[in-house]
Structure 1
Amino acid sequence: MNASRITLGSINVEAEEPGALATFWATVTGGTPAANGDSVYLPPVGPGGFAMFFQPLAGPRPDRLTIHLDLTVPWGARQGEVDRLVAGGATWQWDVLDEHPHVRWTTLADPEGNLFCVAEHPPTP
């Protein structure tokens, strides 16, 4: 079987305020947002980065999100990144620090309430 040729092109987000939400996520990723009408594109930063595309809400916001981003940082860097993101507008939700031996994470919400996690995995021996 051949390896998949599928790659992540962009994470698309509907937002009440696409420009403001793109600005928040630019602080997360380090990217520079580029507006085009009512939409904003946030390009990937570096070879391991990911792009995001923000557009106006097309309907009412769902009561419950069924998908969220898990962002990974180096071991020992999670709390510093969480502090940086909260200072930039994220809202702390909860920590999971000892439930699983292979990962610990903090769940945050962006300024529009979309959940995302910042996780760290211990180094492998």
Structure 2
Amino acid sequence: MKKSLLNVTVNSPDALRLARWWADALDGEILAENEGWFVIVSLGEGRPGLAFQKVESVSSGSRLHLDFGVDDMNAAVEGLVAAGATLIAERSMPGVTWTTLADPDGNEFCVAEHG
């Protein structure tokens, strides 16, 4: 049986606000709001979606981590920071450079150029 990732789910005290932020940041579309308790964002056909589940408080346990490939890392990072992301660090190792950011709720994610 083939298995596909459908959604990556993020817990948030304000799921709708965070879903809207990510939909805007990634040119996605909100498919379902479910009165703000479980919001689904489509990133395009054939791609996994993002889901945001309302919780009373976010646990301090391990956090979700997303990695994104982009064509122009500098432009992508500038756009995300302008939209409300926080720059955490510029990182590199032989053959790859990436930037770690955090969304408005503090969930970290990385951006690197394709190739």
Q: Name the TM-score, length of structure 1 as normaliser.
A: 0.80
Distance 1:83 1:61, change over 3 A: same
Question: Percent identity, aligned pairs only?
Answer: 35
Question: In structure 2, what is the equivalent of residue 44 of structure 1?
Answer: 43
Distance 1:66 1:14, change over 3 A: closer
The alignment partner of 2:29 has SS state of: coil
- The 2-side partners of 1:66 and 1:11 are apart by 12
Q: Name the TM-score, length of structure 2 as normaliser.
A: 0.86
Q: 1 or 2, which has the higher strand percentage?
A: 2
- The 2-side partners of 1:36 and 1:64 are apart by 26
Please report the RMSD computed on the Cα atoms of aligned residues, expressed in angstroms. Answer: 1.8
Distance 1:23 1:66, change over 3 A: closer
Distance 1:12 1:103, change over 3 A: same
Question: In structure 2, what is the equivalent of residue 82 of structure 1?
Answer: 77
Unaligned runs of 5+ in 2: none
1:66 Cα offset (Å)? 4.2
Distance 1:79 1:18, change over 3 A: same
1:46 Cα offset (Å)? 4.0
Unaligned runs of 5+ in 1: none
Larger radius of gyration: 1
